[in-house]
């Protein structure tokens, strides 16, 4: 119930903050939307991938849609950087905010209401022991801080000095980007195919070597991220050259099944050869 209430409230509050940002044209208000917008985006991506896994389309997406998660993160990070550049541009051009008393009242009213609701949600979620709900409480507390900074910066910029608004926006953006920095980096490296840690490669090597007594040599063991938090594994093993096809097939297939049973592995590919003196024939790209 707490998660459902939080998600519904986040959608409504995010819509109100978008309205306030349109009315005020304040970079600080726009910057304060990033954190709750990211929560909604992340929840939507998780729902979409979960739905796609329950209703797979092997013809359109043969490897699934898990890569939506890092792609969404990169898009979100790009939007934050773009907003940071726009705030810096406002410093250069020295563009002053629009002074409209009616719009200012709307902005103050909406942002005050949003901040009060998020404060109550943070207090409500802290009553639960569930880790997910308590994580929501931390998010709400963080949003309360950024909302107060954005509201103060927007009002002070209108009434006193124009440069307070872009300054507030930059502070909020740097704070938000620092909060999600670790998640951004992890998803970025997952998207470009970073290798698995040496400990995991060693674990794979031991498992492969002990799989069957007829394995004479392990040529290569590769494990790399491919846009998700699981690894693609590629293995080259050497079996006796006089072994019949049925036996080599069974050894390779059972090894593939065993590798894919590991929780860290998304997909495994096993290549069988009878010698290892040649160069790897697989196509490599820079």
Mean pLDDT of 59-70: 62
Task: Report whether pLDDT(137) > 80.
Answer: no
pLDDT, position 149: 81
Domain termination site, one of 137, 165, 192: 192
- 125 & 266 share domain: no
Do residues 221 and 261 share a domain?
yes
**DSSP letter string, 237-252:** EE--TTS-HHHHHHHH
Same domain, 40 and 180: yes
CATH classification at residue 244: 3.30.70.1350
Q: Which is higher by pLDDT, 194 or 199? A: 199
Mean pLDDT of 152-157: 80
Residue 156 shares a structural domain with residue 19: yes
The pLDDT tens digits for 275-284 are: 877 666 666 5
Q: Does some domain include residue 262?
A: yes
Residue 188 domain flag: yes
- Quick one: 231 and 182 in the same domain? no
* 286 domain-assigned: no
Answer yes or no: do 235 and 167 share one domain: no
Of the pLDDT bands very low, low, confident and very high (cuts 50, 70, 90), residue 98 is low
**Last residue in a domain, options 192, 207, 227:** 192
Q: Is 26 among the domain residues? A: yes
Q: Based on the domain organization, do 105 and 202 belong to the same domain? A: no
Domain-located, residue 112: yes
Percent of the chain with pLDDT over 90: 19
Question: CATH number of the domain that 61 lies in?
Answer: 1.20.1510
Least confident of 76-90, 107-121, 201-215: 76-90
Same domain membership, residue 168 and residue 222: no
Q: Count of domains in the chain?
A: 2
152 with 246, same domain?
A: no
User: Parallel, antiparallel, or unpaired: how do β-strands 217-225 and 231-238 relate?
Assistant: antiparallel
Answer yes or no: do 169 and 257 share one domain.
no
> Residue 281: inside a domain, yes or no?
no
Question: What mean pLDDT is reported for the chain?
Answer: 77
Query: Which of 157, 192, 227 is at the close of a domain?
Result: 192
Q: Please tell me whether residues 125 and 262 are part of one structural domain.
A: no
Residue 17 confidence class, pLDDT cut points 50, 70, 90: confident
Q: Provide φ and ψ at 242, rounded to 5°.
A: -95, 5
Question: How far are the Cα atoms of 32, 47, 211 from residue 28, in angstroms, in the given order?
Answer: 6, 30, 59
Q: What is the pLDDT of residues 215-245, one digit of tens each?
A: 999 988 999 887 667 888 999 999 998 999 9
Same domain, 145 and 209: no
Count of CA atoms in the C-beta half-sphere (13 A) of 231: 21
Q: What is the DSSP string of 60-83?
A: T-TT-STTHHHHHHHHHHHHHHHH
Domain that holds residue 265: 198-273
């Amino acid at each position: 119930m707490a998660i459902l209430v939080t998600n519904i409230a986040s959608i409504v509050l995010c819509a109100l903050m978008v309205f306030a940002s349109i009315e005020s044209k304040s970079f600080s208000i726009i910057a304060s939307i990033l954190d709750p917008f990211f929560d909604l985006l992340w929840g939507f991506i998780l729902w979409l991938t979960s739905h796609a896994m329950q209703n797979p389309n092997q013809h359109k997406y043969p490897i699934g849609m898990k890569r939506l998660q890092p792609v969404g993160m990169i898009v979100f990070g790009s939007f934050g950087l773009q907003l940071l550049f726009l705030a810096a541009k406002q410093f250069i051009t020295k563009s002053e905010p629009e002074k409209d008393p009616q719009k200012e009242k709307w902005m103050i009213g909406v942002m005050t209401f949003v901040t009060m609701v998020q404060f109550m949600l943070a207090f409500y979620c802290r009553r639960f022991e569930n880790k997910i709900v308590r994580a929501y409480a931390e998010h709400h507390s963080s949003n309360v801080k950024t909302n107060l900074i954005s509201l103060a910066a927007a009002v002070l910029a209108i009434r006193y000095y124009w440069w307070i608004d872009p300054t507030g926006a930059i502070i909020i953006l740097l704070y938000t980007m620092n909060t999600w920095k670790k998640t951004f980096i992890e998803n970025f490296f997952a998207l470009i195919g970073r290798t698995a840690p040496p400990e995991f490669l060693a674990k794979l090597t031991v498992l492969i070597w002990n799989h069957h007594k007829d394995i004479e040599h392990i040529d290569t063991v590769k494990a790399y991220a491919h846009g998700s938090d699981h690894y693609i594994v590629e293995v080259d093993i050497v079996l006796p050259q006089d072994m019949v096809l049925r036996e080599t097939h069974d050894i390779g297939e059972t090894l593939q099944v065993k590798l894919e049973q590991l929780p860290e592995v998304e997909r495994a590919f096993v290549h069988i050869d009878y010698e290892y003196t040649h160069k790897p024939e697989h196509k490599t790209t820079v």
